[in-house]
Chain A
Amino acid sequence: DIQMTQSPSTLSASVGDRVTITCRTGQNINTNLAWYQQKPGKAPQLLIYEASSLESGVPSRFSGSGSGTEFTLSISSLQPDDFATYYCQHYHYFWTFGPGTRVEIE
């Protein structure tokens, strides 16, 4: 299995802040990486695929970058609806999720 880490595990921020979450993988996965947002009691929602492609319907304040073993998810100006947990996922032959980053109100 490819190991996945995310940092930070919890992020405290305010509306309007720019936030960045980092995901690292244990081996090179090229750009086979996705980001999801999950709110309590709901299924995850795909935000970014192929490391940097924005899923249809996702606000443009979300962006992704990276390749190989290090990736980032950025939110340019945090909105009230963005307080949630974010997961990275690789889909390089198999599928593994990162442990998650909870974005909470500061």
Chain B
Amino acid sequence: QVQLVQSGAEVKKPGASVKVSCKASGYPFTNFYTFWVRQAPGQGLEWLGTINSSGGATRTTLKFRDRVSLSRDTSTSTVYMEMDMLTSEDTAVYYCARARGVGNDGTYPFDHWGQGTLVTVSS
């Protein structure tokens, strides 16, 4: 079955960086785009960026373009999200998710999600 398993919770100080991983299994990894979404405490869902799991091309929402980088390792079917210059406003649960379809630049909804990774930024 399709599974996305994320790395564990992180506690970081302001100004630090965090790197969250998302290991995929149960499907041909390079056929599907992967997405990153975050949710601050008590708030809604916010799309951060997308990576083509095959070619590695990425798209990031303008708000995070200078601070978020996405990468993937096809040998381990793992995608990574790294965020720099953390502030307390980055405290949130970060999710990875898979596109519901293949190709089409990944313009699909998200049909499978990781369990979420809590990133806490605190001095």
Contacts and interface: CB of A to CB of B under 8 A. Distances in A.
Nearest to A98: B44
Interface of B: 35, 37, 44-47, 50, 59, 61-62, 95, 97, 100, 105, 107-111, 113-116
Given A32-B107, A55-B111, A44 B45 contact: yes
Contacts, number: 54
Contacts of A96: 47
A99 B45 CA distance: 8
A49 interface: yes
A6 B109 CA distance: 18
- What's the interface size class on A, roughly? 20 to 34
Interface of A: 1, 32, 34, 36, 38, 43-46, 49, 55, 87, 89, 91-100
